Amino acid sequence: MSSFDLTPPSPEQRVTLEAGLSADERRVLLQHGTEAPFCGVFLDNKREGTYCCRLCGLPLFRSSAKFDSGTGWPSFFAPYDEAHIGRVRDTSHGMIRVEEVCARCGSHLGHIFPDGPAPTYERHCLNSVSLSFVDAAQDLPDPLQRGGAEAGPA
Protein backbone atom coordinates (compact mmCIF):
# COMPACT_ATOMS: atom_id res chain seq x y z
CA MET A 1 0.00 0.00 0.00
CA SER A 2 1.34 3.41 -0.96
CA SER A 3 2.49 5.88 1.68
CA PHE A 4 1.12 8.65 -0.56
CA ASP A 5 -2.43 9.98 -0.46
CA LEU A 6 -4.01 8.72 -3.69
CA THR A 7 -7.26 10.65 -3.22
CA PRO A 8 -7.98 12.53 -6.46
CA PRO A 9 -7.61 16.32 -6.43
CA SER A 10 -10.76 18.21 -5.52
CA PRO A 11 -12.50 20.04 -8.39
CA GLU A 12 -10.97 23.30 -7.15
CA GLN A 13 -7.47 21.79 -6.95
CA ARG A 14 -7.87 20.33 -10.44
CA VAL A 15 -8.78 23.72 -11.91
CA THR A 16 -5.69 25.26 -10.29
CA LEU A 17 -3.39 22.45 -11.46
CA GLU A 18 -4.74 22.49 -15.02
CA ALA A 19 -4.33 26.27 -15.25
CA GLY A 20 -0.56 25.79 -15.05
CA LEU A 21 -0.37 23.44 -18.06
CA SER A 22 0.96 24.41 -21.46
CA ALA A 23 -1.14 23.65 -24.54
CA ASP A 24 1.01 20.57 -25.31
CA GLU A 25 0.81 19.30 -21.71
CA ARG A 26 -2.97 19.79 -21.77
CA ARG A 27 -3.27 17.88 -25.09
CA VAL A 28 -1.29 14.90 -23.78
CA LEU A 29 -2.31 14.74 -20.11
CA LEU A 30 -5.99 15.61 -20.44
CA GLN A 31 -6.84 14.59 -24.01
CA HIS A 32 -4.73 11.40 -24.23
CA GLY A 33 -2.40 12.78 -26.90
CA THR A 34 1.15 11.72 -27.71
CA GLU A 35 4.24 13.84 -28.17
CA ALA A 36 6.44 13.26 -31.20
CA PRO A 37 9.22 10.68 -30.75
CA PHE A 38 12.82 11.72 -30.06
CA CYS A 39 11.90 15.24 -28.90
CA GLY A 40 10.93 14.89 -25.23
CA VAL A 41 13.08 16.66 -22.64
CA PHE A 42 13.48 13.49 -20.54
CA LEU A 43 14.42 11.08 -23.33
CA ASP A 44 18.16 11.45 -22.68
CA ASN A 45 18.00 12.50 -19.02
CA LYS A 46 20.66 10.56 -17.09
CA ARG A 47 20.37 12.34 -13.71
CA GLU A 48 19.45 10.42 -10.55
CA GLY A 49 16.04 11.23 -9.16
CA THR A 50 12.32 10.66 -9.44
CA TYR A 51 9.89 11.20 -12.30
CA CYS A 52 6.54 12.52 -11.08
CA CYS A 53 3.13 13.21 -12.60
CA ARG A 54 3.27 16.65 -14.22
CA LEU A 55 -0.27 17.45 -13.05
CA CYS A 56 -0.53 16.22 -9.45
CA GLY A 57 3.09 15.51 -8.45
CA LEU A 58 2.67 11.82 -7.55
CA PRO A 59 6.02 9.96 -7.89
CA LEU A 60 5.76 7.53 -10.80
CA PHE A 61 9.24 6.20 -11.65
CA ARG A 62 12.76 6.18 -10.23
CA SER A 63 15.66 6.97 -12.53
CA SER A 64 17.13 3.56 -11.65
CA ALA A 65 14.24 1.93 -13.59
CA LYS A 66 14.84 4.00 -16.76
CA PHE A 67 16.35 2.37 -19.83
CA ASP A 68 17.02 3.25 -23.46
CA SER A 69 14.35 1.44 -25.45
CA GLY A 70 15.29 3.05 -28.76
CA THR A 71 11.63 3.99 -29.31
CA GLY A 72 12.01 7.76 -28.95
CA TRP A 73 10.18 8.10 -25.62
CA PRO A 74 11.44 7.80 -22.04
CA SER A 75 11.00 4.17 -20.99
CA PHE A 76 10.96 2.46 -17.60
CA PHE A 77 10.74 -1.18 -16.55
CA ALA A 78 9.03 -0.70 -13.16
CA PRO A 79 6.95 2.01 -11.45
CA TYR A 80 7.87 3.82 -8.23
CA ASP A 81 4.92 1.98 -6.68
CA GLU A 82 2.47 -0.18 -8.65
CA ALA A 83 -0.37 1.60 -6.79
CA HIS A 84 0.69 4.90 -8.41
CA ILE A 85 -0.25 3.88 -11.94
CA GLY A 86 -3.51 2.82 -13.51
CA ARG A 87 -3.79 0.44 -16.43
CA VAL A 88 -6.61 1.01 -18.92
CA ARG A 89 -7.48 -1.13 -21.96
CA ASP A 90 -6.97 1.04 -25.05
CA THR A 91 -8.47 -0.04 -28.38
CA SER A 92 -7.79 3.19 -30.26
CA HIS A 93 -5.84 3.27 -33.53
CA GLY A 94 -6.98 -0.24 -34.52
CA MET A 95 -4.92 -2.09 -31.90
CA ILE A 96 -5.21 -3.31 -28.33
CA ARG A 97 -2.79 -1.63 -25.93
CA VAL A 98 -2.55 -0.82 -22.24
CA GLU A 99 -2.80 2.89 -21.53
CA GLU A 100 -0.98 4.11 -18.44
CA VAL A 101 -2.56 6.83 -16.31
CA CYS A 102 -1.71 8.47 -13.00
CA ALA A 103 -3.62 6.59 -10.30
CA ARG A 104 -4.33 9.81 -8.40
CA CYS A 105 -5.42 12.32 -11.03
CA GLY A 106 -6.09 10.11 -14.07
CA SER A 107 -3.72 12.02 -16.36
CA HIS A 108 -2.56 10.17 -19.48
CA LEU A 109 1.10 9.17 -19.20
CA GLY A 110 1.69 6.78 -22.11
CA HIS A 111 1.39 3.05 -22.74
CA ILE A 112 2.76 -0.20 -21.32
CA PHE A 113 4.16 -2.88 -23.61
CA PRO A 114 5.33 -6.46 -22.82
CA ASP A 115 8.76 -6.05 -24.43
CA GLY A 116 10.85 -4.51 -21.65
CA PRO A 117 13.87 -5.89 -19.81
CA ALA A 118 13.94 -8.21 -16.81
CA PRO A 119 12.75 -8.43 -14.15
CA THR A 120 9.30 -7.12 -15.20
CA TYR A 121 9.60 -7.47 -18.99
CA GLU A 122 7.46 -4.34 -19.22
CA ARG A 123 8.21 -1.15 -21.12
CA HIS A 124 6.41 1.85 -19.65
CA CYS A 125 6.65 4.16 -22.66
CA LEU A 126 5.91 7.71 -21.47
CA ASN A 127 5.49 11.20 -22.81
CA SER A 128 8.03 13.65 -21.36
CA VAL A 129 5.34 16.34 -21.10
CA SER A 130 3.41 14.02 -18.73
CA LEU A 131 6.30 14.11 -16.28
CA SER A 132 8.25 16.39 -14.01
CA PHE A 133 11.67 15.43 -12.64
CA VAL A 134 13.06 15.86 -9.14
CA ASP A 135 16.79 15.43 -8.52
CA ALA A 136 17.66 12.85 -5.86
CA ALA A 137 18.76 15.49 -3.33
CA GLN A 138 15.53 17.51 -3.61
CA ASP A 139 12.16 17.08 -1.93
CA LEU A 140 9.33 15.58 -3.94
CA PRO A 141 6.68 18.04 -5.18
CA ASP A 142 3.56 18.48 -3.07
CA PRO A 143 1.23 20.65 -5.21
CA LEU A 144 -1.84 19.33 -3.35
CA GLN A 145 -0.24 20.32 -0.01
CA ARG A 146 -0.83 16.95 1.62
CA GLY A 147 2.46 16.73 3.55
CA GLY A 148 3.69 13.41 4.92
CA ALA A 149 5.63 11.30 2.44
CA GLU A 150 4.82 13.83 -0.24
CA ALA A 151 6.93 16.51 1.36
CA GLY A 152 9.95 14.23 1.84
CA PRO A 153 13.04 13.62 -0.23
CA ALA A 154 12.95 11.92 -3.62
For the CA atoms of the chain, what is the radius of gyration?
A: 15
Catalytic center residues:
125
State how far the Cα of 128 lies from the Cα of 121, in Å rounded to an integer.
21
Residues 6+ apart with CB under 8 A from 55: 17, 18, 21, 29, 102, 105, 107
Task: Please report which helix (H) or strand (E) contains residue 50, including its range.
Answer: strand 49-53
Kindly give the residue spans of alpha helices, DSSP state H, lying in the chain: 11-19, 23-29
| Integer Cα distance of 135 and 153 in angstroms | 9
Q: Are 101 and 86 in contact (CB under 8 A)?
A: yes
